[in-house]
Each structure stands twice: as structure tokens, then as C-alpha cells.
């Protein structure tokens, strides 16, 4: 506390103290009280309970039986569990890697090509089209796509038929070899707007003179993209990759509505796996163990993401000074 008083400037710090004696300063804590109580009831207690239950054998009724680490040992041998996390990697490709890569190119093209040559209105309208799926409830997106991808009269199959590619007709969501890729395709469509909007906002910070100078030196669009756009909006790229990776690990609604984890577990993901274990198989202890592992992975990833981000910022500042 003393550090901040000093950091806030010695003079104001002292005045501050004479105006607010310690008790007055601490009474700000009263404003935190409702929030603290609400968090205790809705986040902390349930989270601790969930972790506790993961160490027990419990069907949701009666009293839980202590099981120690048995659930976690069982997880290690559970092929379904490993499979669900393997699918998470596919979801990270579909929800973080691909949307970031495509979003970067689209954002740069919209900002620096369309925005400059056709006016910012055109760019804004196009951006709105890409962003639209982001405001859609995932349940609704699921309904739309499961109908488009339906095997018999789905629009995609009908379209293939109409353009003479009838032999390409597929049961997009029902074929175990294809379903995961179909879900991935839908997730790219859902997710793309988020990186695009963040990157376009980030590009507004970039000094236009950088581009002009590069253009005068004869650098083509791709070179300007690689040497100016990418380095300049690196903070945004870090944030987007971290956020989207976490979102990919949490994906639930899309899987529930599109495939329910099927066919035969081909699209099962950790969150759906824990949901089904909780409420369909009612193996609450085991479900709690799955969700605890998921939580740990997400927290570790977020910390790593944050570390990388601050280190990149430090490195940049180091370069400047």
C-alpha cells in the first residue's frame, strides 16, 4: 500500500492521507461486499465442491463415497477421455488457428485495400457480413447448419447435385470419418468475425506513413503484410489466439446441437463429455474429474498466453529504448 501512495506522487499521497484516515480508506471495501458474497456463492463454493466431488464416487443422490484419486487414475486409461481431448486440438485449429490466419489476411485486405480504394463504408459493410455469425446464439447456428448439412435434402447436397457433383453428396454430420471436419467447418464460420474485428481495430493504430514509405520503396502487398501489418498488431494476435484457444477448449453448444458428440463419439469434446457424464450417465464424481482437468488445462494455457504476451511487450519496449 505504501508503494502506491509513493508512486501516486509524494505530495498528493500525503494529502490523501490527511483527508482520509485509514478507516475511511478501508470502508471502500464495503463496496466489494455484495460482489464478494455473490462470488462466494456462485463461483467459489461450487468450484470447491466440484473439485471435492471429483475425489469421490457419487451418483448425485445419497452421500458421496471417498475415492481419492481413483477417478483421475481411471481417466488416464479411458480412451474416450483422450479422444475427447484429441478432438479439442482439432477445435483449436478450427476456432483459433484458422480464424486468426484467415482473419489477418481479410482484415489487412479490408483495411488497406478495400478501405483505401473503395471507401471505409464498403469495408464496414463487408466486415459486418463476416461478423454476423458471432452474434447468433450457437444453438441457432447449430440448427441452421445441421439442416444445411442434412444427408437427404440438405442444401449442400442439393447444391452439389445441381452443379453436377452428385457423387460428392455426403452424410456430413453422420459419417464418423467426416463429422469432426464438418463441425470444424461450422466453427470456422462462427468464429471468423471475432479476430477480423479485433485486427481491423488494431490496424487503425498503425501509422499510415509506414505503408506509404514501404509502397514507395516498391514493397508489394504481401511484403507489406508480412513486414508491417503482422509485427504492428502482434499484441492483438496474442490476445486473439489466447481467447480463441480457451473458447475452443470450452466448446459445448455447437457439439450438443450438431452431433451430440456422435456418431459413436467421433465429435466428443471434454465439455460435452463431462456434461454427458454428469447428467446422462450420472457418474458425478467422474464428470467432476473431467471438468477439473479441463479447468486446469485452461488456467495453465491462459497463464502461458499472458506470460508470452507480457514478454513480447517487454521485448518490444526493450527494442525501443
Partner 1 sequence: MKAVRALRRYPVLLALCLAALFMIVPFLIVALNAVKSPAEYARNGPLSLPDGLYLDGLKDFWERVDYSRKLLNSVLISGSVAVAAVVLSVLNAYAIAIGRIRGRTWVLAFFVLANLLPQEALVYPVYYLSKQAGLYDTRLSVIIVFTVIQAAFGTYLLSAVLSRFPREIIEAARIDGADKWQVLWRIVVPVSRPTLGVLLVFFFVWTWNEFLLPLVMLISNDNQTVSVALGVLQGQRLMDATMTNAAALLGVLPALVFFLVFQRTLTRGIAVGAVK
Which parts of 97-136 interact with partner 1 (CB under 8 A)?
106, 109-110, 113-114, 117-118, 122, 126-133, 135-136
Question: How would you class 2 by CB atoms within 10 Å of its CB: exposed for 0-12, middle for 13-18, buried for 19 or more?
Answer: exposed
Helix (H/G/I), strand (E/B), else coil: 266: coil
Regarding 270 and contact with partner 1 (CB under 8 A), the answer is yes
Regarding 298 and contact with partner 1 (CB under 8 A), the answer is yes
Pull the grid cell for residue 122. Answer: 464498403
Regarding 206 and contact with partner 1 (CB under 8 A), the answer is no
- In whole angstroms, how close is the CB of 240 to partner 1 at the nearest point? 7
Residues 46-105 that bind partner 1 (CB under 8 A): 46-47, 49-51, 53, 60
Residues 165-204 that bind partner 1 (CB under 8 A): 189, 192, 194, 197-198, 201-202
Pull the grid cell for residue 266. Answer: 467421433
Asked if 180 and 87 count as a contact pair (C-beta separation under 8 A), the reply is: yes
- Applying CB under 8 A, the site for partner 1 has a residue count of 104
Q: Taking the mean position of all CA atoms in its chain, how far away is CA 34? A: 29
Regarding 312 and contact with partner 1 (CB under 8 A), the answer is no
Regarding 32 and contact with partner 1 (CB under 8 A), the answer is yes
How far apart, in whole angstroms, are the C-alpha atoms of residue 46 and residue 247? Answer: 21
Sign of the C-alpha dihedral computed for residues 145, 151, 157 and 162 taken in this order:
negative
- In whole angstroms, how close is the CB of 195 to partner 1 at the nearest point? 9
Query: For residue 260, what is the DSSP state?
Result: T
Q: Which listed range, 44-52, 87-95, 222-230, 307-315, lies at the site for partner 1 (CB under 8 A)?
A: 44-52
State the virtual CA torsion across 15, 18, 19, 20 in degrees, nearest 10. 120
Asked if 265 and 213 count as a contact pair (C-beta separation under 8 A), the reply is: no
Residues 236-265 that bind partner 1 (CB under 8 A): 236, 239-240, 243, 246, 249-250, 252-253, 256-257, 260
Nearest to 94 by CA among 239, 199, 248, 242: 248
Regarding 279 and contact with partner 1 (CB under 8 A), the answer is yes
Residues 131-170 that bind partner 1 (CB under 8 A): 131-133, 135-140, 142-148, 150, 153-155, 158-159, 162
Regarding 295 and contact with partner 1 (CB under 8 A), the answer is yes
Amino acid at each position: 500500500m505504501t508503494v502506491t501512495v509513493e508512486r501516486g506522487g509524494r505530495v498528493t499521497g500525503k494529502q490523501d492521507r490527511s483527508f482520509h484516515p485509514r478507516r475511511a480508506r478501508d470502508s471502500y471495501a464495503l463496496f466489494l461486499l455484495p460482489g464478494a458474497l455473490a462470488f462466494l456463492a456462485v463461483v467459489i463454493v461450487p468450484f470447491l465442491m466440484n473439485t471435492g466431488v471429483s475425489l469421490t464416487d457419487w451418483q448425485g443422490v445419497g452421500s458421496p463415497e471417498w475415492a481419492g484419486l481413483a477417478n483421475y487414475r481411471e481417466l488416464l486409461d479411458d480412451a474416450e477421455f483422450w479422444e475427447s481431448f484429441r478432438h479439442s486440438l482439432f477445435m483449436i485449429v478450427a476456432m483459433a488457428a484458422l480464424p486468426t490466419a484467415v482473419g489477418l489476411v481479410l482484415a489487412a485486405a479490408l483495411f488497406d485495400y478495400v478501405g483505401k480504394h473503395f471507401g471505409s463504408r464498403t469495408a464496414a459493410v463487408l466486415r459486418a457480413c463476416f461478423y454476423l455469425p458471432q452474434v447468433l446464439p450457437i444453438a441457432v447456428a447449430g440448427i441452421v447448419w445441421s439442416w444445411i448439412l442434412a444427408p437427404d435434402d440438405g442444401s449442400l447436397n442439393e447444391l452439389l447435385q445441381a452443379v453436377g457433383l452428385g457423387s460428392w453428396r455426403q452424410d456430413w454430420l453422420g459419417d464418423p470419418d467426416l463429422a469432426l471436419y464438418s463441425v470444424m467447418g461450422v466453427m470456422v464460420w462462427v468464429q471468423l468475425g471475432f479476430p477480423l474485428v479485433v485486427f481491423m481495430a488494431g490496424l487503425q493504430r498503425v501509422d499510415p506513413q509506414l505503408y506509404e514509405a514501404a509502397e514507395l520503396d516498391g514493397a508489394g502487398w504481401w511484403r507489406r503484410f508480412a513486414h508491417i501489418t503482422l509485427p504492428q498488431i502482434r499484441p492483438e494476435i496474442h490476445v486473439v489466439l489466447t481467447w480463441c484457444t480457451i473458447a475452443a477448449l470450452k466448446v459445448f453448444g455447437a457439439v450438443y446441437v450438431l452431433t451430440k458428440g456422435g456418431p459413436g463419439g467421433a465429435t466428443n469434446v471434454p465439455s460435452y463429455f463431462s456434461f454427458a457424464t454428469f447428467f446422462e450417465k450420472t457418474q458425478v464424481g467422474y464428470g467432476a474429474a473431467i471438468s477439473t482437468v479441463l479447468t486446469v488445462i485452461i488456467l495453465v494455457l491462459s497463464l502461458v498466453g499472458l506470460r508470452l504476451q507480457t514478454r513480447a511487450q517487454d521485448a518490444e519496449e526493450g527494442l525501443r529504448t
